[in-house]
Each structure stands twice: as structure tokens, then as C-alpha cells.
Amino acid sequence: MDVKDFYYELPPELIAQDPLEDRSSSRLLVLHKDTGELEHTGFKQIAEYLQPGDCLVLNNTKVIPARLLGEKEGTQAKIEILLLKRKEKDIWETLVKPGKKAKPGTRILFGGGLLTGEVLEVVEDGNRLIQFTYEGIFEEILDQLGQMPLPPYITHQLQDKNRYQTVYAKWEGSAAAPTAGLHFTPELLEEIGKKGISIAEVTLHVGLGTFRPVKAEQVQDHHMHAEFYQIDEQAAEIINRTKQTGGRVICVGTTSCRTIESAAGKMQERQNQESEKKYVEPGGGWTDIFIYPGYQFQVLDGLITNFHLPESTLVMLVSALAGREQVLRAYERAVEEKYRFFSFGDAMLIL
């Protein structure tokens, strides 16, 4: 399967640069995967497509202000750091620009020395392990000095940090937002709950691999970066009960999808391979699951998602659910209808 098979033409002006004033006022393109039928509606009408007994799975990760602007000690050369993954208490794996200025032993000052980082070593993909020193609480200093790590295709300055967080964000650890969830408001979630739809919260801390382009020519040669996920007992019970009673499990975003499919894979290892029961188990760990056409979904029945970059792993995941040709046709229609694309853009519902 060629990566170029997942390409589509996107006019740059359709890339949303700013969030809408009202989160839930975005448009919604509904794709019925069995028939290929498309419907154009608004995100506020999402509850009309959900049924009592269904379960909505939310990723409650919280984005940290992971972008730090500093100066190299001694030369005042500008260096930008993106926190990717906490390895130990004060040691982080980071993406550094420009990397050539950040050899092991380099010290970088942030906020005039409020925070200091020392490069320990260069690791996979040219990332740097950096040890930070400071006085006080790291998270408070980060909140003071850090910026939201917006994707590279967003060039506008974000005025309100909270607009790159979901309203249900709880656990800090992401380098990027689970953007399908940005459309929900507390009122919309309340309306969905009143309709008899269960809500299960899981956690997957989104890494920068989300934005990394696929460099391999063949899809199966691409290697996904591992991300940490967690499903507690309550969420697992809600999802399992939904499957047992014939309800649909509908994930909000590709991150929620990869979380429950990773957990389902673990469960399948434990039970009889002939069993028709495909449930998730509570727990967590690191997942590098790569979902592309040919993948058999274990738990997922439907997906709420944004529009993704051409040739990205996320377009491949959506194509695994609804078929590559149908998805690309839907994307072409979205371009024709001038939907807003990517993180701050409009949404798609696949049922």
C-alpha cells in the first residue's frame, strides 16, 4: 500500500488558523460507512446521531505549555525547545531547534534563568534529553514561561490557552490536543448524557508523532512513536457493558480510538482467540499501535474526528474504518463545500 494513495488536494486557505468563538458552532460532515452517504449538518446536532445505550469515549488528557523559548548560556543564541516525554522527575525528552546548537553539555536559560536546562545526550530522531533545574514547582514555572505547542500549520498566535484544551481535560502530559474534543461544550455533553448515552473517559498523552510526516513510501514500513495511555476500571466497565448490551462505542478522536483498540488487543491476548467477546481491560502502558486499511477493529463502532493532513497516519486510520476511496471522496466533498481543516477546523462523524 503506497503512502501516496492517501493524498488529496487541499487549498491552504481551508486550514483553520483560529478557533471559532463558540466551540460547538463548527460544521459536521456525517459519513455513513456502509452506504457512503454523506450528510452536512452542524456539530450542535451531534446528539441526533447518537442513540440511548451508545457510549462516547473521551480522551481527558491535558496539553502542557510545552514550547519553551530560551538562550544558550554564554552566547545568547536563541533556542526553542518542545517537551515531548518526561523520562524522570526533571529529565525530559525534547525536540530542540536548532539542534546543532544543543550538543551534550549545552546549558540553556529560560526566563532569564528562572529555569535552566542542560543537554545530557542525543537520542533517537535527534531528540535531546534535557535535565532541568529550578526553584519551586516545575509545573508552575512551565505555566509561566511555556507556550502552547500549536501544530506547525497554525501560524496565528493563540490568544487564549484554554482554546487548545478540551473542556474535560484533566491529566497533564500531552504535547498536542486531542482536537476532535475541542468541539464539545459542557452543555452539549449534558444534553448527550440526558439522552441515555454513557460517557467513558480514557487518557492518552498525545506525542509529536501525530504531526511527523510519513517518510516511508510503503504504509507498512512506517513506525509509530509510542504514547502513554491509561484506562481505569470505571471506563472499562462502561465500554464493556455497552458492547454486552448491543450499544455502539463511538470514540471522540483518533487518540481515544487507539487507546481502546490497544486495550482490546491486550484483552484478546488473555482470552480464547476463538471468542467473539472483544472487550477492553483496565490498565495502561505504552502503545505504538498503527491502524491502517486491513485492520479489524475490536471495539470501535463509530468515530468523531477532524479532517487530517494528506498522507498522514490519521487519514490512514479513518480509511481503515470507512474505506480509503469513501474517505477521500468525503474529503473532496469537504474541500468543495469549503469546510475548515485540521486542529481548529470542522468535524466529521463516521457511523
Is cis: bond before 98, omega within 30 of 0?
Answer: yes
pLDDT tens for 257-309 read: 999 999 997 666 555 554 546 589 899 999 999 999 999 999 999 999 999 99
Name residue, grid cell 525536540. Answer: 95
| DSSP conformation letters of 11-63 | -GGGB--S--SSGGGSEEEEE-TTT--EEEEEGGGGGGG--TT-EEEEE-EEE
- Is the four-CA dihedral 34, 40, 45, 46 of positive or negative sign? positive
Per residue of the chain (351 residues), what is the pLDDT tens digit?
999 999 999 999 999 999 999 999 999 999 999 999 999 999 999 999 999 999 999 999 999 999 999 999 989 899 999 998 889 989 999 999 998 889 999 999 999 999 999 999 999 778 999 999 999 999 999 999 999 988 889 999 888 889 999 999 999 999 899 999 999 999 999 999 999 999 999 999 998 776 678 889 999 999 888 899 999 999 999 999 999 999 999 999 999 999 999 999 766 655 555 454 658 989 999 999 999 999 999 999 999 999 999 999 999 999 999 999 999 999 999 999 999 999 999 999 999
Separation of alpha carbons 148 and 176, rounded Å:
8
Q: What is the pTM assigned to this prediction?
A: 0.91
pLDDT tens for 120-151 read: 999 977 899 999 999 999 999 999 999 998 88
- Amino acid 298: pLDDT: 93
**End-to-end CA gap in the chain:** 25
- Amino acid 267: pLDDT: 64
Name residue, grid cell 505547542. Answer: 149
φ/ψ (deg, to 5) at 25? -90, 5
